[in-house]
Structure 1
Amino acid sequence: MSDRTDNIEPVARALYAKQMRMLGVSEDEIAATSDRYWPVLAAQLQAGLIDEDGSPIAHSVEKGLEAWYAWLDERKA
């Protein structure tokens, strides 16, 4: 991604769907849960905790929590 925030939502949604399909989750269930879970992947992407394929990059639990809280703080305004 050239600018990681420009298209982070569609990338995160696609990663979520891909991961759920690999687990055998139905398309209906993916559609029903995507709105709830794509922000988690977006926060991880933005913080560099996963790559654009959804593969994890080694990090601590603390880094994961920091990424989530930073994501939430950015959207408060």
Structure 2
Amino acid sequence: MRLCLSGLLFLFVISLPSGNGLFGNDGVEVRTCTALGGRCFFGCRVGWKWVAYCHNVLSCCLKLRRHPPPQVYETAH
């Protein structure tokens, strides 16, 4: 029973809107953040800039258009 619950918890955590996750992720749309041109995550990814808070838990992030860091182009193997 414990193993099953921990497995479900693991799947839930990796599906949260932070980083790329298991299935890829475009963030969460919150009206106040999309008005700024951003997306909401549990922390800004590499190549994104923090702008504001989304409901005191998530971070509103803008994608860097000019001069992104080189880590953005790395691919995970």
* TM-score (structure 1 length as normaliser): 0.28
Larger relative contact order (Cα-Cα within 8 Å, sequence gap ≥ 6): 1
* TM-score (structure 2 length as normaliser): 0.28
Which structure dedicates a bigger proportion of its chain to helix?
Answer: 1
